[in-house]
Structure 1
Amino acid sequence: MEKKLIPEHLKLATLDSQGLTQNTPFGSGKNAVLTALEHLGYIQIDTLSMVERAHHHTLWVRIPDFQADYLEKLVEERKVFEYWFHAASYLPIQDFRYVLPQMLTIKRGGSRYYNADPKVMEYVTDTIRNEGPKRARDFENESHKTGSWWNWKPAKLALERLFMQGDLMISGRSGMQKTYDLAERVLPSFINTTEPTPLEFAEYLVKTNLRAYGFTTLKQITHLRTGNDLKNNVNKVLQTMLEEGLISQGKIEGFSSVFVRNDVLDKTFDLKDSNIRLLSPFDNAIIHRDRIRQIFGFDFRLECYTPKEKRQYGYFCLPILFGDQFIGRVDCKAHRKEKKLELIHLHIENHTLDVELWLNPFIETVKRFAVFNNCESLILTKISPSKLSIPVKKELSGLKFKK
């Protein structure tokens, strides 16, 4: 029997499950990064750098004392690894076996996206086995040797294919520069490397979604994954959990069937946190655009891939979460040489909200965000609606501070 679900309760439930209702939901320091990853399931990696990159930004929002080298250290300690979730991601090493189906599919030739010359793959593998970990640029240098019969591009393709099929793993990073090593030298010996059955894989996806979001749908569980077999197995897992009384099924406007953890349904939320949070466009909390639109009434999309003349809000907007509401977005750029964070265009979309309620928390958050981006001053270039220009610019523009 389907239960009547209250959107306001689900809104708080998903923010709470995402670690966005408390200041330090996962603790502090390096251990908090691992705890957050194990809870959320993954953190998306992205190369865009208008502000601090997405994987650091997403963790900083939840871990106030986050430092970029925490992730690098966890990779070196073999507690975290990189692979493809729905995009390039950091994942907890405990979940390694659940990427094996994709690795083995690619290894068996089941993907047309990772073509590489077998001879170059053999050369790259032998070089790393004999000489140790390598970066792509190491092979770029090799390609300039007299008599070389390969060049950098085939070597790069070989590295990517060997990584995607699991023969190589990323053993470390320097910024966005990856270092590859043999998987057998990176993966801890205690890790389960048994390929999960299709039903086990479906169970992993279901439980990861329910843990990280509090409620979910079939569409969200299978996000960017295809195949009727997977959908059928996900449905089997959901039915089993319904029978065991772990979850309930219900409907809310705009969604097909929604599945909710029963402990979430029974939980009372007392949101006293009125902080502002500036989220990355790739934050786990907003990756499902339908969820955010239907539950929060916030229609978000990243416009950096949209032609300039068709952009509505800006190139790289960050959603602004105030308590349990998305009140707008801000297009940002960190001018690193000048150590200045520019708020190119601040859009406040909740026009009924008194500016005095959100302005001071917003100022405190953007100051912290500027420091996070190694900036020492802030400038606000434009704000909408224009009637907010005087009070907001008075508080923000030219504001200087030290780290």
Structure 2
Amino acid sequence: MKYNLSNEQTRKFILIKQGLMGHYKYVGKKGALDYIKEVGCIQYDPIDVCGKNAELVLQSRVKGFKKEMLYDLLYKDRKLMDYYDKVMSILSIDDWKYFKRVRDRYDETEENHPHLAEMKEEIKKKIEEKGYVCSKDFANDQKVEWNWNKTSIAKAAIELMYFHGELIVHHKKNTIKYYALARDYIPKEDYEADDPFQTDLEFYKYRVLRRISAIGLLWNRPTEAYLFIHGLRAKERTEVYQSLLKEDKIVEIEIEGINELFYALNSDEQILLDIISGKTFEGRTELIAPLDGFIWDRKLTETIFDFRYKWEIYNKEEDRVYGYYVLPIISNTEFIGRIEVINQKKEKTLLVKNIWFEDHIKLTKTLKNNILNCLDRFMTFNDCHTIDIQTNLLK
């Protein structure tokens, strides 16, 4: 099946799929879990200026979301887990069995570091004694070559055991991770399950479907959206899309004025039909996380939304066009600009340091009120009591 959409219809499709348009279809802790299951994963990043990336993703979609909800889902309810999907991510614990091939890749790493075997046994023994460990529980005087630099043998062994699936993140305290034995927390039937995929192609199809769902639609071209699907080169990617089309798991989308084919999930076909039929959806104004899944493919975002975004956090201050931690703002069906917001935790104040609008945006009274209402929700999300707006554009 092939659909022909206008650019505006395509934007609506992506935003409705993402839960960023219309009424809030995700509510509370259950809504946060449902959203993560829907898109496959959300990217984790520890930097906290006005909320960590994963929390920022959820606050824009989940009505009544509070930061402790995500922590509870990860470390109390055990409905979610930390693991590599598209880099370090948060995903459903139900997905454990589907990542066996990813975990098995670290067999070779272990073979190349036989000196870690003794340390691994010491780690297991310590976990059995106290329930969980971090690398600081062990002497750090012995160093090994690891990834890009030298690190303690304990940290290297813990990371290897984690990647290999012997450990999971038990909990975090600030940025420190504590680990426990995976067998004690992953359901037995999943922990002991065989690889559900018979071939690499089947595995690639599973991973690509997740990435399509994370954004809403994708194209068959090199992009960061396919990051960490090891072995998925151009040939394999084309084979994946051809196979998924034959199996009716995806549909083709042509966008007016864009000379590329895009692909969406067959399971999202009703959204396409609603949009084509002219069904109306109320627009919303939301702040978007810098590593939000639906802008993983920066070129796709620029092509469809006419919005170029770069996270400038790693740029030197003098090289930044905007700021250190700047969030895109979406309103109705377009990105209207970006904003720099800081949670001043001691003062319980949300500092709105600056805002930059796209050149074509006219700040009407309605749009200004929508932004202020969005910031009011963002203040509550950050557990602040007041807002300090320093930019004259919003006063």
Question: Which TM class, normalised by the smaller chain length?
Answer: 0.7 to 0.9
Quick one: distance in 2 between partners of 1:71 and 1:48? 16
Misfit runs of 4+, over 6 Å: 148-152
Moved more, 173-182 or 254-263: 254-263
Instruction: Tell me the CA shift for residue 156 of structure 1.
Output: 2.0
Q: Is the Cα contact below 8 Å between 2:339 and 2:356 reproduced in 1?
A: yes
Equivalent runs, 1:17-56 vs 2, <5 Å: 17-26=17-26, 28-56=27-55
Structure 1 residues 233, 314: CA separation in 2 closer, same or farther (over 3 Å shift)? Answer: same
1:342 aligns to what SS in structure 2?
strand
Quick one: distance in 1 between partners of 2:377 and 2:187? 37
Task: Identify which of 376, 381, 384 aligns with 1:375.
Answer: 384
Q: Any stretches of 5+ residues in structure 2 without a counterpart?
A: 145-150
Alpha-carbon displacement from aligned partner over 1:170-198 (angstroms, at most 9, x marks no partner): 12333433221111112111326322331
Q: Is the Cα contact below 8 Å between 2:87 and 2:228 reproduced in 1?
A: no
Task: Identify which of 213, 235, 238 aligns with 2:238.
Answer: 235
2:160 matched to which residue of 1?
161
Structure 1 residues 111, 207: CA separation in 2 closer, same or farther (over 3 Å shift)? Answer: farther
1:341 matched to which residue of 2?
350
Instruction: Tell me the CA shift for residue 257 of structure 1.
Output: 3.1
Task: Identify which of 243, 260, 264 aligns with 2:264.
Answer: 260
Equivalent runs, 1:3-402 vs 2, <5 Å: 4-26=4-26, 28-75=27-74, 76-109=76-109, 117-137=116-136, 139=137, 142-143=138-139, 153-191=152-190, 193-195=193-195, 196=197, 197-218=199-220, 219-220=222-223, 223-225=226-228, 231-252=234-255, 256-261=260-265, 263=269, 264-268=271-275, 270-382=279-391, 389=393, 392-393=394-395
Instruction: Tell me the CA shift for residue 111 of structure 1.
Output: 11
Q: Is the Cα contact below 8 Å between 1:143 and 1:150 reproduced in 2?
A: no
Q: Is the Cα contact below 8 Å between 1:116 and 1:158 reproduced in 2?
A: no
Structure 1 residues 287, 229: CA separation in 2 closer, same or farther (over 3 Å shift)? Answer: closer
| TM-score, length-scaled by structure 2 | 0.86
Instruction: Tell me the CA shift for residue 202 of structure 1.
Output: 1.5
Quick one: distance in 2 between partners of 1:174 and 1:357? 42
Q: Is the Cα contact below 8 Å between 1:41 and 1:91 reproduced in 2?
A: yes
Q: Which amino acid aligns with 2:377?
A: R
Instruction: Tell me the CA shift for residue 77 of structure 1.
Output: 2.7
Quick one: distance in 2 between partners of 1:250 and 1:31? 31
Instruction: Tell me the CA shift for residue 364 of structure 1.
Output: 0.9
Q: Is the Cα contact below 8 Å between 1:23 and 1:64 reproduced in 2?
A: no
Q: Is the Cα contact below 8 Å between 2:41 and 2:91 reproduced in 1?
A: yes
2:330 aligns to what SS in structure 1?
strand
Q: Is the Cα contact below 8 Å between 1:198 and 1:230 reproduced in 2?
A: no
Moved more, 303-312 or 238-247: 238-247
Alpha-carbon displacement from aligned partner over 1:134-163 (angstroms, at most 9, x marks no partner): 2334x1xx439xxx8789832222212211
Q: Is the Cα contact below 8 Å between 1:82 and 1:90 reproduced in 2?
A: yes
Q: Is the Cα contact below 8 Å between 1:271 and 1:323 reproduced in 2?
A: no
Structure with higher strand content: 2
Q: Which amino acid aligns with 1:341?
A: L
Structure 1 residues 55, 214: CA separation in 2 closer, same or farther (over 3 Å shift)? Answer: closer
Q: Is the Cα contact below 8 Å between 2:215 and 2:296 reproduced in 1?
A: no
Quick one: distance in 1 between partners of 2:232 and 2:345? 48
Q: Any stretches of 5+ residues in structure 1 without a counterpart?
A: 384-388, 394-403
Instruction: Tell me the CA shift for residue 69 of structure 1.
Output: 2.4
2:148 matched to which residue of 1?
none
Q: Is the Cα contact below 8 Å between 1:15 and 1:213 reproduced in 2?
A: no
1:280 aligns to what SS in structure 2?
coil
Instruction: Tell me the CA shift for residue 299 of structure 1.
Output: 0.3
Quick one: distance in 2 between partners of 1:130 and 1:284? 39
Structure 1 residues 210, 162: CA separation in 2 closer, same or farther (over 3 Å shift)? Answer: same
Instruction: Tell me the CA shift for residue 319 of structure 1.
Output: 0.5
1:129 aligns to what SS in structure 2?
helix
Instruction: Tell me the CA shift for residue 307 of structure 1.
Output: 0.9
Q: Is the Cα contact below 8 Å between 1:105 and 1:111 reproduced in 2?
A: no
Moved more, 312-321 or 334-343: 334-343
Instruction: Tell me the CA shift for residue 324 of structure 1.
Output: 0.8
1:399 matched to which residue of 2?
none
Instruction: Tell me the CA shift for residue 214 of structure 1.
Output: 3.4
2:238 aligns to what SS in structure 1?
helix
Quick one: distance in 1 between partners of 2:171 and 2:182? 13
2:321 aligns to what SS in structure 1?
coil
Structure 1 residues 106, 170: CA separation in 2 closer, same or farther (over 3 Å shift)? Answer: same
Q: Which amino acid aligns with 2:84?
A: W
Q: Which amino acid aligns with 1:345?
A: N
Quick one: distance in 2 between partners of 1:240 and 1:149? 50
Which has the higher relative contact order, 1 or 2, with Cα contacts under 8 A spaced 6 or more apart?
Answer: 2
1:266 aligns to what SS in structure 2?
helix
Q: Which amino acid aligns with 1:267?
A: D
Quick one: distance in 2 between partners of 1:110 and 1:319? 41
Q: Is the Cα contact below 8 Å between 2:67 and 2:381 reproduced in 1?
A: no
2:206 aligns to what SS in structure 1?
helix
Quick one: distance in 1 between partners of 2:294 and 2:128? 40
Quick one: distance in 1 between partners of 2:328 and 2:114? 37
